[in-house]
Amino acid sequence: MEIFDIFTKKRKFVNGVFGELVYTTFKDSSKNFYDGKVKFQGKEIGLIIDADKNGPTIEQKDFFKKLDNEYAEIKEKIILPFLRKELEENVKNSGLENFDSEYEFDGISIEKIKNGKTEWSITYDSKPMRHYVSIDFIGMKPKHMTIDG
């Protein structure tokens, strides 16, 4: 009975990069993922990683470490210019001029890496806009922004 599946024990995955993640499975195994809390830029945030029963791949772990190590540069050269462009009509009320104090990390999602391309997203809680702002990327190129409240 499907309804009792919610009471089954979920598989956990522990490693040095992510700590403890919980594995969620579906009938369609292409939708399986791991989620948990991880340290990113010294703060605890949510993380979702698309992966199979063997856990996140080396490429996903390396990509996450790269994001953490190079975040300051990624933020200045990619994230902020993209947000300025996307929010240009509302930049004065967006809090971008005080980004580090006005935007809090909420989470990162990393999809399966295909042909060397990493699709991922980062989500912030924007205090001035009182909404979550998510940016979807392919590699280091932002593709789309979503504001959700």
Give tens-digit pLDDT for 92-141: 567 677 788 888 899 999 999 888 889 999 999 888 778 888 999 999 99
Rounded to the nearest 10°, the torsion over CA 128, 134, 135, 139 is: 140
* pLDDT of 39 over the 50 cut: yes
* pLDDT of 45 over the 60 cut: yes
Model's pTM, two decimal places? 0.85
Rg (CA), the chain: 17
Res 93: pLDDT: 67
